[in-house]
Every structure is written in structure tokens, then in C-alpha cells.
Amino acid sequence: MSHNSFGHLFRFTSWGESHGPALGCVVDGCPPGLPLSEGDIQPFLDRRRPGTSRFTTQRQEPDQVEILSGTYEGLTTGTPISLLIRNVDQRSKDYAQVAQAYRPGHADYAYDAKYGHRDPRGGGRSSARETAARVAAGAVARAVLGADITISAYLVELGGDAIARANFVSAEIGRNPFFCPDAAAAARWETALDAARKSGSSLGAIVEVTAEGVPAGWGAPVYHKLDSQLAAAMMGINAVKGVEIGDGFAAARLRGEQNADAMRPGPDGRPAFLANHAGGTAGGISTGQPVVVRLALKPTSSILTPVDTITRAGEASEIITRGRHDPCVGIRAAPVAEAMMALVLADMKLQQRAQTGR
Amino acid sequence: MSHNSFGHLFRFTSWGESHGPALGCVVDGCPPGLPLSEGDIQPFLDRRRPGTSRFTTQRQEPDQVEILSGTYEGLTTGTPISLLIRNVDQRSKDYAQVAQAYRPGHADYAYDAKYGHRDPRGGGRSSARETAARVAAGAVARAVLGADITISAYLVELGGDAIARANFVSAEIGRNPFFCPDAAAAARWETALDAARKSGSSLGAIVEVTAEGVPAGWGAPVYHKLDSQLAAAMMGINAVKGVEIGDGFAAARLRGEQNADAMRPGPDGRPAFLANHAGGTAGGISTGQPVVVRLALKPTSSILTPVDTITRAGEASEIITRGRHDPCVGIRAAPVAEAMMALVLADMKLQQRAQTGR
Amino acid sequence: MSHNSFGHLFRFTSWGESHGPALGCVVDGCPPGLPLSEGDIQPFLDRRRPGTSRFTTQRQEPDQVEILSGTYEGLTTGTPISLLIRNVDQRSKDYAQVAQAYRPGHADYAYDAKYGHRDPRGGGRSSARETAARVAAGAVARAVLGADITISAYLVELGGDAIARANFVSAEIGRNPFFCPDAAAAARWETALDAARKSGSSLGAIVEVTAEGVPAGWGAPVYHKLDSQLAAAMMGINAVKGVEIGDGFAAARLRGEQNADAMRPGPDGRPAFLANHAGGTAGGISTGQPVVVRLALKPTSSILTPVDTITRAGEASEIITRGRHDPCVGIRAAPVAEAMMALVLADMKLQQRAQTGR
Amino acid sequence: MSHNSFGHLFRFTSWGESHGPALGCVVDGCPPGLPLSEGDIQPFLDRRRPGTSRFTTQRQEPDQVEILSGTYEGLTTGTPISLLIRNVDQRSKDYAQVAQAYRPGHADYAYDAKYGHRDPRGGGRSSARETAARVAAGAVARAVLGADITISAYLVELGGDAIARANFVSAEIGRNPFFCPDAAAAARWETALDAARKSGSSLGAIVEVTAEGVPAGWGAPVYHKLDSQLAAAMMGINAVKGVEIGDGFAAARLRGEQNADAMRPGPDGRPAFLANHAGGTAGGISTGQPVVVRLALKPTSSILTPVDTITRAGEASEIITRGRHDPCVGIRAAPVAEAMMALVLADMKLQQRAQTGR
């Protein structure tokens, strides 16, 4: 049982606080002989990196990753891969008030209730800065999955304003600061998020992440379903309050015959499905269809609007969260969700090979 | 790594197929000295038991539990508790067709793709019959939690028809076959589900499960969040396609100041929260507020309406799922969701005690 | 973390007390498609079964195993295999005194100190009767390993009297009640153990277990060495106080050049080793040589000679352990050691396949 | 399942190769609020540090530890503690030959057979340099155990020459380069090891490690016995080939009445044991007596005497292991064994608290 580890056979353990000297992770169980260098990891960190637009925190972190172990002559050796990212732009003085009064929506009170002693600077361990470690580990997971599996995350809703599926253009995802596949929606979001930011508020978002090329048969029954592992992975991302697979909550409003993903003989000997309401899983096991997951992210809790709270001493107070924050944490969650998808699937791939030899 | 185990310190391992001689589970890690007999478990099984109304499967299973180990003179000893439930009303002949053609929405194809060899009778291991083991284990978990924590699950929507929160009466939950807290909604659901059943169709549902009395401080950061564990627990229940905590997906449409659960000094030295958008967790750790989770269940995949499919040999076919089935699997998911909540919380309680001594 | 589970990918969880209604285990992670029926398991249980000679306890237990799940039409399905063995010859009245006074050398005091409440009948969970579950699980493990790996355990010393290696004849192991490969030693042991038994005493033993056919590359570095896993497996067998691999303690008295297992090119492309001081492992990973482990078992603690002790109330007392016991627990440990070897290796086989695809 | 993690509730994951830029570990599950700084860890590393006498390798490594996370204002926060140790004195050119030919007694061949690709410099991951991470983690474990538990390891035999128990003086352990409690033996060992070293050979050793102050009740039945966990911990230390608890192998030569640790009422309400043949455990659970473990270490495999071997290409060759090595790896194993004892006990302490609240 490891609170800070994720995965079973492909497994990583993360460490580090928002304002400590560094953060990182140790990836264990990686197959040997895979090409891996910092250059394979850095592009994913760069996508998650703060400070790249006015819609993310202005904290300037280069997030340069160092591989400290587990490779030799550019190939993985099968031993633990230690990844290190230095923190360079801490401004801990911003957090003096946080040490004394709890920020509603943040983990401050819960951590104090649990541990009695916490690092209040930037939220310490509860900061979304930890997700850099996940993204780095996720890049290693992609090396395990190989080129046949493609993973993509993007925002489908921001501040309650959804994309039009008819406008979906994959290439748009990289062209705006919102990982938005609908250019028209991206334009609207820019206006909305600017307004929220200027008024000291914040907005929520819905991220969709898909994996194509996953073969049928990954996952396992009952308590280790692909669905369960994805739900745990995504619900564990900071600010996520909901996860759905395939049609998700909408499936609860369908009738049995509407929800059935009918099957026909496919051209390659594998079944052709006539629909994908299930989002690529049945009985907790992949069907060969695209795996489709959506996650709901609450609006950033760090806002400049004052909120009622109490101090550590239990006295009534009011708090404004200064410091540098994302006006919509959902945006940078997209590369994190991709990483978590890759991490779950890499683990499942090794498990499937272990039990069945396939 | 155990595909059929759940939990870490309070942990159970389930086994059994729908049409095998029996099913059961082994509960490991239970604290010693707790009163426990079959009489403490049976009432929970009776709530989940099939055949109690025309809205659940007509399979007649008494689901009598036997404790085979782990207690002595009516108290737990701290050693593994083996629980056994005999299957008595299998009708395996209903499943001859299932062995040859895949039922869309079921695990048939995925199991075949994974294992190459499966027990097709009643879905084998993928049958929701396995949830009896969870409910039995959940009863033990409740003994660990004690009387201060109360857990309740109920349907808040069936076939797209939601309850009115204003009509919520806890006592109603046990008075209708739908675990519905709104008597008016229950009456409407009866009509709707009768119609669906008679037309050979099925309906979906949304279940809400709450836990009151959970102290602040349970759960753990990053990959072992209370949120993550609940999401995995609930998403692993048969037919669940979505899980949300607190406001869930609706939180993605709130602004930061709307979503903040403001705090005031409370009468007992603990904070009084002015709202519970968060559903009782912050940073993955309980806040002392009620823990609130909702799960979306797809409509039963076993329907009498014919659906296109393929055979194991890959040929086009059509299938009607005979056998005895629930027209809305969401109904009997309510006691299962309660069990999973209890199981997660019992595990968290022991973990909190381990790390902090509290 | 499961106190009553063993293994990682090939994993089983055992349950049951000496005088409860039954004992058993759940085997999880077994590959699908392997032939498995009760007839594949029963012969191993029969070798461990009590009451087969005057050198083992006279308790009459048929140890008939039932497979309750996880197979279909004679093949494993990849789902959990539940194995059940009924207890039929409990005589719990023998244990009235044990409930009140601690038997030195037994777990009575330690269990009470840990749990505060225990099942005293026959030692409850601490009884070696639990090893029947291991032997049953071990038979499944052998199915995973296949015919290329042969595992054999035998006694090399009893009551301080060692076999002569020059007299080693494999076929002798099954011809005497001591699993002794040296017919002359077996004759001496018969005399010695009869004498010990008649004088109300007991003797210790050393068991050696070997596995041939293990390919090079199984095991893993650092904390998951084949050596570590074997040590945990063997040290966890009741009454074991020491474990050694290869030359073991004797290796501490060799010089570096004496201890080196020199290598030469072998006929089949694999290395030919000129010695096996290492017992088949290097750096925690198998080398392709026979894996050789020895375990030291203390003399049975249940003896008819009175021993000073205290009661639960803390008063001075004296105890004679009545009931039916083995005068040398080391004998029946041989089939248990074989089972644990098979269980460790099956787990390692799946792990190796998971990480490397081999 | 983590090959490079150890422990369950108090758990650490180590990483790093002998000649990489650094090594370290992440300690997870540490209770909050414990005083911890580099100064609490460094003294233990200094005891294990190479280059402090002519009887250890001449590689000069300061082994300075940095705490990168998990503490705030000098106290643990309950979040992961990342510990980093830089390698500063690699001389990788010494290992050119090792990349081509396998060193008998080393992991070279086994790693190649497993992974197909390895870091040959200084043995890579299989180097005993990894044990620095264990010692650092062990220092944190001692903080968890507190001052009531004292752990001590020392050599009781070197090159086949045992100490005289009558000469045992605890204070001597720190006064000679052998962690030897018998001054006369230490003098003899100096001569013997000088001779072995000068002749290009090496010697083995037996280390004893004891823990006093462990309360009764730690450990758990069946597969998680204190004995099992200690056996795994000690057998996993580089070069260890045997582990015994209490009388160990000698217990196999005692009669039942000789081996019984009789009990009498003690002055403090707890039992007074009249002997400790069991080495502090019964049924896998601590009894309150000192926990006593011995481990046998083979002679260093790196010797200047030529040994027959084969190359990676399978051709006959001969190898002398140049580089800088300990002539007796058993010596520096003493602080490592202490660390492993502390790590097992800290884990057991938290587990006991989890299950029983004590």
C-alpha cells in the first residue's frame, strides 16, 4: 500500500512539494531495452508547463527533467528510472496567510486534520505541481505502449460552454491555449476566461481523453477493471470531481436497445462495432474500440474574491488566495489526463502479458 | 496485485461464478474483538437478494451466508473471515446460445478476447451475482466502522426521471422496490419500468450514496485519495459508467466563488461548513462533511429485443438474452454501493490509524 | 498488504482454523486454459495428509479438496480458483487447558498479546493444519510451471543425524515415512523418533528442496530477489527457524576462489557451471542451475514433558500438551516446502513474462 | 508489486546504479510530526561508508544525504521523503572487461539473461552500493521506532573464526573496523583478512542483529510473519546466503523440551521467559523477548585470483575482477542489517496499530 505510488507492474512513486527544492518520481517495472532519454520526456512536460499563456499560472518553471538511473547507453535496463525536476521559481512569501487560515476548496484544513503538521507553501504536497511527475512518468509509459496506441486529451467544455462535436478538428488542439478541438469554442473561451480572471474568479472544465489502438483483452474482472483503474487514475487528478466512461451519465437515460453496441463481422477478423456507447470496455476489459473517458474539473479554488473561512486557531476569518494560479485548472489537466491514461494502459499491457502470454 | 481483491488494510478477495456451486469472499485484516455472526451479515444480503419484486430477476436465491473462519465465540479473532454463499437456483440451459454468440453490452466478447476460455453460464465471473460477496464483506466493514458512521444509498433517477429533492424522505427508501426516497417518483418509476419490462427493454438509473459521521482526515494524498478509492470502488460495480463526488460534473459549470465551501467556527470546535459542493473531501482527504457520491448505471444489457451480434466463429448473428434478469440493474446496485462505501471507509480508517495513531 | 496472501501475480489467500468447519484458499492470477481438476491437487494433499504413519499426528483428516470456482469444463478460466477442505476430525475438548495457559514454543501468548481474543482449539490459525491450503495452491502452481520444472523436497537431517550424500537415491524418498533419500538414515531415524515419541519428546529436522529446470532470468533485483522470496516463503512455514540457499552458512567459511561457480561454454549455447555453491541464483536472479534451499525446523513444541508456563491471568503453571501431534514436524514440512517453491516460481514466471515478454 | 520497494505501510523505493550520477530512495508512509533532518541520517551512512579502513573498498564516497521532500521546519509531514546521495568517485574504466565477460559469483550473467541489456559499470543496479539507500531509509525507520527500541548488528564470525560469547563487550563493536564485539577475535580477523586481501582472495562472515524493546504482538500470521519479513529483508542484502532466527539451524538438533522457552510470571505483569531459543518470535509474532537474527555472507566475489568464465558471446575466458572492492563484504553488511531490521519493525509497528489500535 503506497499512497504516493500508482500502478502495479508498471508502477511509479512520486514525491515533492510545490515549494521544495525539487520534485520527481521513480518508475519501476519498465521493460528493458526501450529507447529513452530526456528528449523523449521533455515535450510532454513542456505541454503541461506553467507560464505559457495568460490562462495559466505565471510561475516560471522550465520543468527540465533529469534521468538519474535506469538507462544505459540510451536504453532502459529494467531497473528503476529516477526522474528529477528542480523547482526554480518558488515565491513562498505569498503563502504566509495560508499557514494561518484555511483556503476553502483547498486541502489545507483536511491536511491539518490528518497530519497535524503541513507544508503550507503553495499547498505543499497537495499542489497540482505534483502532476509534473505524472507527466514525466507518463512519457515512459508511452514508450512501453509503443506507436500503435495513440492517446489524446482535449477540453470539451469550459465554464459550461461546450464544443460542437461537428466542429471537432484534431489539429486545432495544439493551436490554442485551451487544448480545444473546436476553433470557435476556443475563441469564446478566451473571452470568458479573460473575464473570469479579471474579476478574480475562476472557471471549471470538462476534459475528454481517448486511447485508440488498445487491443481487446486488457483489464481484469471485478476489482481491477480497466474502468476502475481509469476512474481512480482520473479522479486522483487535482480538482477532478467526476469521471465517466463512454456515454457515462447519459447512458443512465438510454434504454437497453439504445445502449447496445451491436457487432458485425469486421474486415480483419475482429468484430466491427456499430456504436461505442460503452467507451471501449465491457466487463472491465477492453473491447478493441477506442477507450473514451471524460473528467469534470471544478473551478480553481485559488481566487481573488474573498471567502469566509476560519484560522488554525478556529477563529472566523476571510481569505483571498494570492500567489500565482491558473484561472482554469482544467486546461493543464489535459496533458495530465493523457499521462494517466498512458500509465493505466502500460500497466494493463504488462498484466495481460503476465497472465495470458499475449 | 490481485484482480479479485479490494482494499489494502481491510481487504477482501472474492471468488465464484454465476452458475458455479457457490460464491464467497475472504476478508483479511479485520480488527479482532468485534461482534460478528451470520445475523450481522444476512440483513444486508437480504436487501440485495434477487426475486423480491417483479422489478428484479426472478432467480430465487436465498443467499444464506456461512462464516467458515475468523470468529470464535461470536467475536472476530483478527484472522481471515471466509464467507460462503451457495448458489441454488442456477438454470444453465438458458445460456446455450450465449456460449456461441456474444451479447452486446456484456463481457462475453471481452472475456473471450482476454482468456480464450470462459464460463458462459449466466456470464460466469462477470455476472452481477458476484456483488453478493461485496455486500457480505461490506457488512463486516460496517462492524469495523461502528455505529457513528451511517451509510445510505438510494436511487435519485430511473430511466431519466429524477426525484425532487424537496420530496426527499429517508424513511421512504425502504418502502418501495426502488430504494427511492421520493414516494411520487417511486410511483412513476413503477409505471415506467413495468412498461420497459413488458416491451423487452430495460432502463438505467443514478444511485447516490452518502456516508455521515466520517471524521476529517481519512484518505491520503495523490494516488490514494478518498476520491480515487471511491471512484474505483463504484466504477467497478457492474453496469456503472460514471462516478461523481459532491457536485461532480455540475461543479465544472460553477465559478470559483460559487464552488467554495466557506467555513465558520462550529459549535464543537470543529469547522462548520456553509455548503458541501465538495462532497466531503478536499485534496483527497475527508473534511468531516458528509461524503456524497453518485454513480450512473447503464440500462441492463440483457434484453428481449433482438440485437445484431457475431458468433465466436465470427459470423453475423442476432441475439435475444433469455434467462432471468433485472429490468433495471441500478436498483439492486444501491445496497452494493453502500457496501463499497463501507469497504473503502473501513480501509481508510485503519490506514489513518496506522500512519497517525488517530 | 495481506497477511494471509502470498505471491504477487500468481497469488493465493488462505483461511481457516485448525478446529473450524473447513479451511481453504483462493488462488488468483492463474493463467487461463490450463487443465485442472481435483485429481491434479489431491495427490499432493495426500502426501502431506496426517495419520499415514505413527510418525505423524493420528488426527484422521481425509483432506478432500473441492474446486468451487475458476474452472470450466476442466480448464482454468483465469478467474479466482476457490479450494475448500473440510475439517472432519476435530477434538476440541483436548484444548481446554490451552485456553487458560500458554504453551511455550507455541503462538498462544503472542496471539493473545496481539489480538486479545483467539481461537485456542488446536492452535487456531497458528496450526500447521493451514499448510494444507498451501499444498493445494502449490498444486495449481505446478500446473502453471509445467512439466519442465521438477521440484523435490526431502529430509537431509533428523534429530541431528544427517544423511550421507553418497547414499542419496531419489527413489528412496517415497519409500519411507520420512521423505528420506538415504535408506540407512531412514532406518536410524525410525529408531530415534520412536524413542523420542515414547519419552514424550520431539525432534527437529532439516529439509532440502530443489527445483530443476528453472530458466535463467527469473527473480528481480534488490527487494524482490528470488532469494528473498524463497526465504520469506520457507521461513513462513510453521516451525522453520532458518533458511539457506546453495552453500548457505557454509559459504561464510569459504574463500572467494572456493565459492566461485566457474563457467564454461556449454553444449547447448548456455553456460555450463562447474559448481553450484550459489544454489541457482546470482544477484537475486536465477542462473539456470538447480535452485537449492534448505530449511531448519525446530522440534515440535507440543510435547508430553511438562514445561513451566504462566496462565492468561499471569500465574505460574505447568503444561503438558495433550492432543494429537507430530513427534517431528519437519517430516510433513517436505511437501509444504515443495508447494512454497512451486508458488514462488509460478509467481516469478509470470513476472518475468510481464516485464520482458519472455 | 514493486521489485525495488520494501515494506508495506512504512515503505521505501530505492533507485540508482553504482556508477550513475546518484542513488537514493523515497520513503512513503512515514508518520507526521517526527523530527528529521540530514543530521539524523548521516551518522548511519557514515558507518556504512566505504574507504574508512583498509578492510573496505578504497572508493571514496562521502555519501552525503540530501532530503528533497517530506519535511517542513524539521518535522516529517507524512508525505514522501525523497533522499538523494550523489556518486562522486566512479571509475567506470575499470569495468571494460566486465561488459564482455561474466564475473562468476556476480549478477552479470543473470542480469543479461533476464534483461538482455545492462549497465556493467560496477555491477550497475546489483552493486552493494545500493545499500546506502537502505541505510538512509533505515534511519527514518528508527525515528518511527523511537528510543525504546535498540538495534545492534555485529560480526560473530569472519573467515570461519567465531567470536567467544564470553568475550562479548558491546562497546567493542565501535572500536575496530569489523563491528566485532570480541577484541581478541578482532585482532585475529585483522591478520586473517590482511592475508586474504594480499593473496587476492576474500573471506565470508556471519552477522548477528538484535532488536531489544520490541513489544509483544508485532507481526502477523501465516504469510506475513515477523520471521518471514525478516528473512526476506536479510536474504535480500547483497551476498547473504543464509538467515536464521534465534537458535536457527541449531534448533533442528534440540529436543522439544530443550527448545521450549519456559515462562514465569514477570515483575511487570509481563511474562519472564527463561530462555530465548525462539529469538523473540512465536507463530510469526513478537513475544517481547529480544529479536535475534543471523545472516551468512559469502566471501566477496570480486577477487584478483583468476576464475574460469565465458564471454557474452559464449566463448571460454578467464577473469580477474579489478576495481576497488571490500575483501569481506560481511563487514559493511552490519549497518545494512541494522537498517533492514529497523525497516521491518517500523512497518510492523504501523501494521499493529492499524489492525488493533495498539
Shortest distance between the Cα of C126 and any Cα of chain A, in A, equals 25
Residue pair C231/C291 in contact (Cβ under 8 Å)? The answer is no
Q: Does A14 touch chain D (CB under 8 A)?
A: yes
- Name every chain B residue with its beta carbon within 8 A of the beta carbon of D1: 1
Edge-first strand listing for the sheet containing B291-297: A161-162, A150-158, A205-212, A291-297, A240-245, B240-245, B291-297, B205-212, B150-158, B161-162
Strands (E), chain A: 5-6, 11-16, 22-28, 65-67, 71-72, 75-76, 81-86, 150-158, 161-162, 205-212, 240-245, 263-265, 271-273, 281-282, 285-286, 291-297, 307-310, 316-319
- Average of per-residue pLDDT across B234-241: 98
Q: Does C255 touch chain B (CB under 8 A)?
A: no
Cross-chain residue pair A78–C357, CB shorter than 8 Å: no
Burial class from Cβ neighbours inside 10 Å (0-12, 13-18, 19+) for residue A268 reads exposed
Task: Give bridge partners of residue D296 from the DSSP assignment.
Answer: D206, D242
> Which of C79, C221, C350 lies at the smallest CB-CB distance from A354?
C350
Which tens digits make up the pLDDT trace of B284-333?
999 999 999 999 999 999 899 899 999 999 999 999 887 678 899 999 99
Distance from CA of B199 to the nearest CA of C (A): 34
Buried b (16+ CB within 10 A) or exposed e, A215-251: bbbbbbbbbbbbbbbbbbbbbbbbbbbbbbbbbbbbb
Q: Please give the residue that has the higher pLDDT: either B99 or D337.
A: D337
Q: Residue D95: what pLDDT?
A: 74
Q: What is the pLDDT of residue D1?
A: 64
Whether chain A has a CB inside 8 Å of the CB on B80: the answer is no
Cβ atoms of residues D50 and D59 within 8 Å = yes
pLDDT at B261: 97
- The answer to whether residue A1 scores a pLDDT higher than 70 is no
- Inter-chain CB pairs, B–D, below 8 Å: 41
Q: What is the pLDDT of residue A274?
A: 97
The ipTM estimated for the assembled molecules is: 0.97
Q: Which of A2, A5, A9 to mutate to test the interface with C (most CBs of C within 10 A)?
A: A9
pLDDT confidence of residue A270: 87
CB contact B78 to D (< 8 Å)? yes
Which of A93-97, B273-277, D158-162 is the least confident region?
A93-97
* φ, ψ for residue B245, nearest 5 deg: -120, 135
Which of A270, A299, C281, D107 is CA-nearest to residue B109? A270
Which of C1, C5, C8, C9 has the highest number of chain A CBs within 10 A, making it the mutation to test binding with A? C9
User: Is B81 near chain C, with CB under 8 Å?
Assistant: yes
Hey, which chains touch B, using 3+ CB pairs under 8 Å?
Answer: A, C, D
Binary contact (B242, A255; C-beta < 8 A):
no
**Tens of pLDDT along C238-296?**
999 999 999 999 999 999 999 999 999 998 888 999 999 999 999 999 999 999 999 99
pLDDT at res. A76: 98
Helices then strands, counting H and E runs in chain C, come out as: 7, 18
- What residues of chain D lie within 8 A of the CB of B29, using their CB? 354-355
Q: Residue C32 pLDDT more than 70?
A: yes
Distance CA A30, CA A78 (A): 5
Q: Going by DSSP bridges, is the β-strand pair D11-16/D22-28 parallel, antiparallel, or unpaired?
A: antiparallel
The one-character DSSP state at B200 is T
> What is the Cα–Cα distance from A60 to A57, expressed in whole angstroms?
8
**D262 touching C (Cβ < 8 Å):** yes
Burial class of residue C269, CB neighbours in 10 A (0-12, 13-18, 19+): exposed
Amino acid at C27: V
Of A333, A326, A261, the residue nearest A293 (C-alpha): A333
pLDDT (average), residues A297-311: 94
Q: Does residue B323 contact residue B128 with C-beta atoms inside 8 Å? A: no
- Mark which residues 19-58 of A lie under 8 Å from B by CB: none
Are D303 and C221 within 8 A, CB to CB?
A: no
Select the more confidently predicted residue: B253 or D49.
B253
Residue-wise pLDDT for B35-86, tens only, equals 999 999 999 999 998 777 888 887 888 999 999 999 999 999 999 999 999 9
Give the sign of the dihedral formed by CA D62, CA D67, CA D72, CA D75.
negative
Note whether B314 contacts A271, CB cutoff 8 Å.
Answer: yes
pLDDT of residue C348: 98
Q: For all residues of chain C together, what is the average pLDDT?
A: 95
Residue C73, classified by CB atoms within 10 Å of its CB into exposed (0-12), middle (13-18) or buried (19+), is exposed
pLDDT tens, residue by residue, C70-115:
999 999 999 999 999 999 988 767 677 778 899 999 999 999 999 9
CA distance to B159, B167, B171, B173, B279, per residue, from B181 (Å): 16, 8, 7, 5, 19
Q: Give the rounded distance of the alpha carbon of B317 from its chain centre.
A: 33
The answer to pTM > 0.95 is yes
Answer whether A355 sits within 8 Å of C29, measured CB to CB. yes
The beta-carbon neighbor of D77 closest among A3, A32, A118 is A118
Q: Is C81 an 8 Å CB contact of chain B?
A: yes
Nearest CB to D32 within list B350, B353, B356: B356
Exposure string of D310-324, with b = 16+ CB inside 10 Å and e = fewer, is bbeeeeebebebebb
Across the interface, whether the CB atoms of A115 and D70 are under 8 A apart is answered no
CA distance D240 to chain A (A): 21
Check if the beta carbon of residue B286 is closer than 8 Å to that of residue B218: yes
| Residues of A (138-197) whose Cβ lies below 8 Å from B | 157, 159-160, 196
Tens place of pLDDT per residue across chain D (358 aa):
679 999 999 999 999 999 999 999 999 999 999 999 999 999 999 999 877 788 888 788 899 999 999 999 999 999 999 999 999 988 767 677 778 899 999 999 999 999 999 999 989 999 999 999 999 999 999 999 999 999 999 999 999 999 999 999 999 999 999 999 999 999 999 999 999 999 999 999 999 999 999 999 999 999 999 999 999 999 999 999 999 999 999 999 999 999 999 999 998 888 999 999 999 999 999 999 999 999 999 999 989 989 999 999 999 999 988 767 889 999 999 999 999 999 999 999 999 999 999 9
Q: Does B353 contact D353 at a Cβ distance shorter than 8 Å? A: yes
Confidence label for A321 from pLDDT (cuts 50, 70 and 90) = confident
Number of H-type helices and E-type strands within chain D? 7, 18
> How far is the C-alpha of B1 from the C-alpha of B5, rounded, in Å?
8
The arithmetic mean of pLDDT across residues A12-28, rounded, is 97
How many residues are given for chain B? 358
Q: Three-state SS for A326?
A: coil
Question: Coil, strand, or helix at residue D333?
Answer: helix
Q: Is the Cβ pair D283, C253 closer than 8 Å? A: no
H/E element, C30: none
Q: Note whether B79 contacts C114, CB cutoff 8 Å.
A: no
d(CA B119, CA B108) in angstroms, rounded, equals 9
Cell output for D83: 533522499
The span from the CA of A70 to the CA of D115, in Å, is 12
Residue D73 C-alpha, separation from nearest chain A C-alpha, in angstroms:
8
Q: Using one digit for the tens of pLDDT, what is the confidence trace for C128-165?
A: 999 999 999 999 999 999 999 999 999 999 999 999 99
In order of A247, D34, D213, D273, the CA distances from D352 in angstroms are 44, 19, 15, 23
Indicate the average pLDDT of chain A: 95
pLDDT for D17 equals: 97
- Look at residue B1 and tell me whether its pLDDT is greater than 80: no
Q: How many residues does chain C have?
A: 358
